[in-house]
Every structure is written in structure tokens, then in C-alpha cells.
Structure 1
Amino acid sequence: MRDSMNILKGNEKHIEACCSIAKGLSEYFTENAVETMSKDMKKHLLYIATDLDEVVGFMTIHRKNNHVAEILWMAVKKSKWNQGIGSALIERISNDLKSQGVRLLQVKTLSEDAKYSPYESTRQFYEKMNFIHIETIDPYPGWAPDNPCAIYVKIL
């Protein structure tokens, strides 16, 4: 990550920029997903990655209880991939949550059983960040048919 990049807590003024990033990743996020994402960003903890004051990545976190948090949404602007931004977001959030007593970070993503190649790199990223695949559920409540859910956890 370059010196010009920062990981900050976001707020409502950053939601449009975050949704714009997601819209640029249509192989990952449907229009309905972006609408839900926007609502979730208003209700849950939002972190952003900035480069020279431009939002280039984000993550939305839901505190499930005192010891468990879940990554609801995460994305990095495609032109900024492989520059350490996603890793920096995970590291910052992990450190912040751990300092608040959270012991487990969870994320759900599309399972390899779906045979949808764009998500191969997503799963590889989480595994590189020490998330462990613990279960695949299909059908997963609230997910569209034929979208098996892979659940990953990271011990903080």
C-alpha cells in the first residue's frame, strides 16, 4: 500500500462512491446487491480505503454479538487490484475488532461449487488473509437459487 493511501472509518457521504465501485464490478454485484449494500452501509460499520482522497475500496462490518463480526460487503476498485488495499482493509478491521473484544470474523462468499470463475480470486484472497472455509450451505436462506454459500472465518 502506498503512502498516499489511508484506511478510515466511512460515513454516509462515502456511500455513493462505494456503490460506484461495486457497480464497476458487475460480475460480482447485481443491481439488487448494490441497493442492499447501500442500505447496509447506513446501518453498519463502514471502512473505506482512500488514495489521494479518492475512495478506492470499502468494507461493511456487522457486529453479530460481542465476540463475532461479519464482513457484509467488500470491494476494491478494479484498477487498484493487487496493490494491497484489500489486505490493508482486512488488517485494519481485524485489529480494530480485536481491540474491542471480537474474536471471530466471518465472511460469506460464492462457493467453488457454483463453478463461477470470478469468485476464485475472491476465495483465494480470503484464504491468503487466513480465513478458513468451514462450511458450504446450498441453498442458503436469502440467497438466489444455485448460489451455494461458502462460509469462512478468521480467528482474531
Structure 2
Amino acid sequence: MYTIKKIVDKEEKARIADEILHMLPDWFGIEESAQEYIRESKLMPFLVAYEDETAVGFLAIKETSPYAAEIYVMGILPQYHRSGIGKQLFDACYQWCREHNMEYLQVKTLDYSNEDTNYAKTRCFYESMGFRPMECFKTLWDEWNPCLIMIQAIR
């Protein structure tokens, strides 16, 4: 079991996001995109999973409307994948959504039409958390990275 904490200090958010995202080149290997995630997530609710004093994963929540939120970015150090951290971060995010009267939670990820095995695992994780595919936007990011929006209702 890991400890989940909400971080409010912008520089601490940036440091944690930077360290973790740069350990995940298979997901965040485009430096311009990684820097955007780091910069933007400083302004959002930011949850961190700790093992002792070490940040091993994080999740940033973007409010997209008064009724909906998005998992803007989530990263977990590779050696901690499949250890339950993603579920703990998701559970804390879901609870945040309930506390803030959100009705829907969404996430954007690479569409099924792209055969990347890492993103296939990502989609399986989100499906196991209750997300369902809503729509693919083939050129939202670019034609090589079709964006799948997955959603779920907050109950």
C-alpha cells in the first residue's frame, strides 16, 4: 500500500512530474508534449503516490466544465507498474470528483487503431477502472496519434 497525498506547491508538482515523465519515454517521449504536461499540471489538483518519501506516481486532474473532469496526465515509475498504484491514484481522483460534484470523468489516450503495445496496456487499465470508449478524434493530436476519449459517470 502506498500513501496518496495532494500536492499544492507548484514547483513540487513540476519537479515530480518532470522526474516521472522523463522515466516514461514510451509514453512521454515527445519532449514538447512532456513539457506541456509539466507546465499545465502545476495549475491543477495534483495527487502523488509515495513509497516512504519517494514519489513513485502522480495524477493531475483538469476541470473541463462544472460537471466534468479529466485525468490530464498520469505517470507511474516503470518499476512500479502493475503494483496497484494506478488504481490508488484513480480511486483518489474519483473521490476528488465526487467531492467536487463532478458528474463525468474522462481521459484521452492513444486509439485502438494504433498498435502500440504500451498504450494497449494503458487502455486495458482504464477499461478495468470503468472507462468506456466514447469517440476517436483522428487528428486532435496528429494523424499518427489518433486520440481516443474514454469516459465514465461519477456515481
Offset from partner CA, 1:43-90 (integer Å, 9 cap, x none): 212111111011100111111122100111001111111111000001
Q: Report if aligned partners of 2:21, 2:75 keep a CA contact under 8 Å in 1.
A: yes
Q: TM (normalized to structure 1)?
A: 0.92
Please say if 1:122 is aligned against 2:122. Answer: yes
Number of the residue aligned with 2:58? 58
Runs ≥4 in structure 1, deviation > 2 angstroms? Answer: none
Distance 1:18 1:149 in 2: 22
Q: Shift of the alpha carbon at 1:27?
A: 0.8
Distance 1:155 1:148 in 2: 23
- Correspondence list, 1:134-149, <5 A: 134-140=134-140, 143-149=141-147
Please say if 1:9 is aligned against 2:16. Answer: no
Number of the residue aligned with 1:20? 19
Distance 2:149 2:56 in 1: 26
Q: Report if aligned partners of 1:87, 1:129 keep a CA contact under 8 Å in 2.
A: yes
Q: Shift of the alpha carbon at 1:39?
A: 0.8
In structure 2, runs of 5+ residues without a counterpart are none
SS at structure 1 position matched to 2:25: coil
Q: Report if aligned partners of 1:71, 1:105 keep a CA contact under 8 Å in 2.
A: yes
**Residue identity in the other structure for 1:124:** C
Number of the residue aligned with 2:68? 68
**Residue identity in the other structure for 2:5:** L
Q: Report if aligned partners of 2:134, 2:149 keep a CA contact under 8 Å in 1.
A: yes
Give the RMSD, CA atoms, in angstroms.
Answer: 1.1
Q: Report if aligned partners of 1:40, 1:60 keep a CA contact under 8 Å in 2.
A: no
Q: Report if aligned partners of 1:18, 1:55 keep a CA contact under 8 Å in 2.
A: no
Greater strand proportion: 2
Number of the residue aligned with 1:84? 84
- Correspondence list, 1:28-43, <5 A: 28-29=27-28, 30-43=30-43
Between the two proteins, what is the percent identity of the paired residues?
Answer: 26
SS at structure 1 position matched to 2:75: strand
Q: TM (normalized to structure 2)?
A: 0.93
